[in-house]
Amino acid sequence: MRNDKGPERPLGVQTDARRSAPLYADETAGEGAPALVLLHGFGGSHHVWDDVRAFLDPSRHVLAYDLPGHGRSLGIPAEGAAPSFAKALLADLATRNLGPIHLAGHSLGGAVAVLMALFEPSRIASLTLLAPGGFGPDIDASLLHDFAQAASPEQLASCLRAMAVPEFTPSDAMIEQTVAERSVPGQIKALTSLYSRITRDGRQGAFTPQQLAALSMPVQLIWGERDPVLPIAQAQNVPASFRLHRQPGLGHMLPLEAPQAMARLISRFIG
């Protein structure tokens, strides 16, 4: 995603992150290791993964985070966007004494996951990236702006449908949960501020080919062929080692549109 220094700067410029306040993670205790860590996209929360988690092995150790500036991590500083998010997450995981983890990230969470793997590769056993940010400059910035500002059930439902495919209908539970999150004082302001840092002139920052090639762990890339936010064309030139799963008939909101399929792909990949 876009950093503050301008379009010529690639993703991955490290910034300082305050590590005193804990990030919120919805945790399911499980046996064995590695744990599975889930990162949501811009404007979401750990609840984006609720339906996916329902199809995962119930004995698996899972942590679904709220990114800084989102949900129950609203009070965590979010000034540096993706790079500072990655550092804050790595610091939080260290306090939990977790060994190498399987990491899955959607959209903005995908960009954060890549940065975590670049910053501390020994901590990441595998990467699952669902329509990740930062794989090219193209992004529907206008739709992202509308989503940052959306607060009413009608506005949120309209944005979620626009980010998915027209025939997708978000659940009442997801709309109610998101409305409740957006009603918290400071949430809309935080998202608006974050939007201004991850886009510039209608475009986003991108990883360099060298950065993607440096990912030494197994990586799978899952992308909806009808993604209206981040076009699937951005997956064309990824390293040959990446395992690409094109999803016909799906848009950008993969964890909501096809939770069972996403759970199956993640489960198979991490064994």
Tens-digit pLDDT profile for the chain (271 aa)?
333 333 333 444 333 333 345 899 999 988 777 999 999 999 999 999 999 999 999 999 999 999 999 999 999 876 778 999 999 999 999 999 888 999 999 999 999 999 999 999 999 999 999 999 999 999 999 999 999 999 999 999 999 999 999 899 999 999 999 999 999 999 999 999 999 999 999 999 999 999 999 999 999 999 999 999 999 999 998 999 999 999 999 999 999 999 999 999 999 999 8
From CA 182, how far away is CA 213, in angstroms rounded?
Answer: 38
Q: Is 61:29 a contact under the CB 8 Å cutoff?
A: yes
Q: Select from 75, 62, 59 the least CA-distant residue to 103.
A: 62
From CA 230, how far away is CA 253, in angstroms rounded?
Answer: 11
From CA 113, how far away is CA 147, in angstroms rounded?
Answer: 22
Q: Read off the pTM.
A: 0.92
- Provide CB contacts within 8 A for 234, sequence distance 6+: 135, 136, 138
- Provide CB contacts within 8 A for 107, sequence distance 6+: 40, 41, 42, 130, 131, 132, 133, 229, 230, 252
Using alpha carbons, list the distances in angstroms from residue 95 to 92, 118, 164: 5, 20, 36
Written as one string, the DSSP assignment of the chain is ---TT-TTSPTT-------SSPPPEEEE--SSS--EEEE--TT--GGGGHHHHTTS-TTS-EEEEPPTTSGGGTTS--TT-HHHHHHHHHHHHHHTT--SEEEEEETHHHHHHHHHHHH-GGGEEEEEEES-TTSSSB--HHHHHHHHH--SHHHHHHHHHHHS-TT----HHHHHHHHHHHTSTTHHHHHHHHHHHH-BTTB-----HHHHHT--S-EEEEEETT-SSS-GGGGTTS-TTSEEEEETT--S-HHHH-HHHHHHHHHHHH-
Amino acid at 266: I
- Provide CB contacts within 8 A for 220, sequence distance 6+: 126, 127, 128, 129, 242, 243, 244, 245, 265, 269
pLDDT for res 148 = 97
For each of the domains in the chain, give its residue range(s) and CATH number, in order of start.
Answer: 25-270 (3.40.50.1820)
From CA 23, how far away is CA 101, in angstroms rounded?
Answer: 17
